[in-house]
Amino acid sequence: MLKKILLTLLIVTIGAILWADETQTVIMKTNYGDIELELWPEIAPKTVANFVGLANGSKEWKDPQTGEMVKKPFYNGLTFH
């Protein structure tokens, strides 16, 4: 019985380690504390690429105030609800 429990724990631990390698972590800083986000590029590659590109300013987006296409960090100073 103990061997089965230890084997199960070993499998779960290895699975968690392998699963963790697939994620990217982002820290969103807010006035009320930090929020840790996990990104899964293997599961949602386009969504992760879009989020990262907007966050670091490498993806172009349309500024609603000027109507111009810009390449600057999108989320900086954005109100988060």
pLDDT tens track for 23-81: 889 999 888 899 999 999 999 999 999 999 999 999 999 999 999 999 999 998 888 77
Confidence of residue 11 (pLDDT cuts 50, 70, 90): low
Domain boundaries, the chain: 41-76
| DSSP per position, 18-70 | HHHHT-EEEEEEETTEEEEEEE-TTT-HHHHHHHHHHHHT-S-EE-TTT--EE
